[in-house]
Structure 1
Amino acid sequence: MGAANVTQGTVEARLDNLEANWNKFETQHDQLQLEHEATLREHDYMRKNFLGVTEEHYVQQKGIFLDLLRTLKNGAQAEAGATAADPAAATGQPSSRVTVTPRTTLPRIQLPTFTGKYKDWPSFRDLFVSIISKDTTLTNVERLHYLKTSLKGEADRLVRNFTITDANFDRAWAALVEHYENKRLLVKSYCSAFTALQKMKGETPSELKRVFHGITGTLSALEEIGRPIANCMDLFIHMAVELLDPRSRREWETIVSASAEPPAFDTLKQFLDRRLYTLEALSSTKFEAGTSKSGSKVATVQAARAQTVGKKTKGRCALCQQDHYILHCSEYQKKQPS
């Protein structure tokens, strides 16, 4: 069409045409299934998922048009705002406004992808609502487009049958909320991840970090959904301590043995923090010592090799065992026939 011909009106016309073709396609698809269901089972139409492929292209093309339309609308609003703020711009007179360039430009936030895991739902929900749902410049059609492109796997299958229309965004979002706003399953998911943590395989910083992050992550996730572990803190701390290596458990028992009261989680967290710092410091010291020993070993090996080479270079003459080749040996030359 050419950039000059791409206007808000032409884009809206293209969108209407695309929507009409998609509605026609859906109607014909339903008719094919009703009248030729048996034939379709053996046809490439079903084998190659023609419906899914076509819908994917439809969603992509509609997204392109919606993004372009949004850009054009924002450009028109910005131009109108500039004219209102500086009337001289409309008459072609020199502008008296001072353009202020922002000092920093924040990077564009990448939309999250939600695959249907219950433990990922709260973070996806909050981020999507903040970026998309609360954006007043977006229409519900655009919101539904962004929602569909952010879903994969089971979550995508849940809203796949919602066509991209203005009314369907609220319906699709309500379907997701109804399915994933399930505290019982969220608690089960978080607790399963915690109980699946393996014990520390050794007294190393990496192993302690793995366990420490698993413990604090579970605690935070349960608090976020309003299910703190206040009523089962003792059991949680016991299970967390059992994940530690033997020496860390001994040091923990040494700390808490001074009191007859069960320890609080803050005490465990402080202990894990300090223990992690200790292991990291010891790890770096061992590395430096190992490097020093390695250097000494290399020097020793090099010296041994030098001595070996020296020994091999001594006595090269097989006749007199002196440091010369046999051809230069006086004893050998005496034995040569005259």
Structure 2
Amino acid sequence: WFPFYDSFNSIIHSNASISDVQKLQYLKSTLTGDASGVISALEISAANYQIAWDILKERYDNRRMIVHTHIKAILDLPSLTKEDSTELRRIADGAIRHVQALKALKCPTAHWDDLLVTLREWQSSLTGTETPTFKQFKNFISQHCLVLETTNKVSLASKDTNKNSQTNAKRQSTCAATVKSKCNYCKGEHPMYYCKEFLALPIKQRAVEVRNRKLCVNCLRSPMHSLDKCTSRGCKICNVKHNTLLYTSTSSAEDHSGTSGTGESSLRNSTTAVTTHSSNIQGKDHIMLSTAVVNVIASDGTSHSCQALLDSGSQASFISRQLAATLGLPLRPLNVTISAVNSTSSNATMATKVTLQSRLNSYCRMIDCIVTERITEKFPKTLNNHSNLNRACRVVAYCLRFLRRPAGITTHFVSHEETTAALQLMCRIVQQHSFPEEYKALSSNKSLNTSSGILTLNPFLDDGLIKVGGRLKHSNITQDARHPVLLPKNHELSRRIITQAHVRSLYAGTQATMTAVRQQFWPLALRSLTRKIILKCVKCFKVKPVHSETIMSGSTKIGQVVLIKQQGLHPLHWLLGRVQSVHPGTDGVVRTAEIKTAKSILTRPLTRIAILPIDDSSDKR
């Protein structure tokens, strides 16, 4: 308002040679926005000029409101999230502009040094105990802008001259921009995360010192921003929003996971349990983890032997629901989300305390465990990593030899008995995983449930394997053919067995492959699974090619009367038409034609057209 008032008053309002009508015309032409709307209802006349001028002065000549607007603009200046010369220069220019405007309004800005200086964090550059002035603060901001602009120009110049050292240039420019920052702990000329005194403190004491100084726990620098607005990256170990120097295994788990331990409150108060593995092996689909056999104390005080899976990357302990029920452990409610790799998650609603005891000495410990339905898959992905069943059996046989260490083995090659035992082991694991209720009932000599899907096969348990019963037990065939091993449908083991039988039978058809499989195994839905495998067999596809029908280019001519073949209709009901045009391909062979019927024009391939034997000479006569 004041620049407009001074300029308009000196040029137009105080000029006696200009009439009031002209002054009002000039006034309306210079106003925009709300100011123009205030006097828009006044007509251009000599009497309305003074009225319009008084309205504008009453509306906008408010010194108190103008001062308040400038002060509010100073307080609303944006804060810097990172060191940037452009943003810092814009903030400094804005503050100086508003302060000079207040000074022009005769406000006592010379006595506002304490108020203006405390708006920015620059106390680390001050020496002595005297109160700084706004002029010192302005000089500090200008000098800091020059430093940032210089370092940015140096980094940009290094990028243009040497593109191969782009990463090193960025690191050097970053160091140049932050080397002047002072440590908030010892007041030295180095960042806080390089301070030897701070690094010598225990991790818990570091966290206490950071909180006492009200610093950001993520960047350890300015307290002017909150944790959620910090642009620095989080912890390099747990990826949580805190500095890596403040990382502890217990604090990370308490922040976002229910960690196993002796304390009950840490697991009870948590809402998320994160379980990951620290290994990252490229080209591998799974990780081999160690196992141990330990004793677990049941609710009645008895000791039970169980197998424990040791995962050094897990942040919580787990127990299967079946084992917890067998031990009779008391459960307590819990609501956690178990997150794993690839962003997979599952919910758990129960937890319990488990007492572990060593089998070799008197070591004993009680831990908190989350109750889950299943901890790991019973059947590993061994079959998916090998091209055929024989190779997978040899791998399992080598593993069994390593675990059992039988005496008297002098060769490195596995025998037929070892591969057979490996195949039986895989079948047993698959049956326990696919038919858990049936396997448990047959192991306890109980009858199967009437709703079981394998009840009609009269299954029984023989040497740890579920086999098919029936009237074939009196036939004159082998024992394996009389009672084949039961396998689930659509399982990878069933597919590998069918594929092996198909290859061994010299790529026979569906019936012959099924006969070869049932000499030892009985997969469910065998016929449909065999058809799918044979359909995808590459060699079977190559020896049975589908021959394309030869198309004669000269058999169809324009003007011929044809019938359009329609599937499902008698030839007497096919559409009658006449060939209007033909469409040869790039090789000159005609394969499609346009046919005009009684109602429309259709484009059909020549294989769907029947040419009528009509004599053209009879038509001419």
| TM, length-normalised to structure 1 | 0.46
Using structure 2 for the length normalisation, give the TM-score: 0.26
Q: Which structure has more RCO (C-alpha within 8 Å, separation ≥ 6)?
A: 1
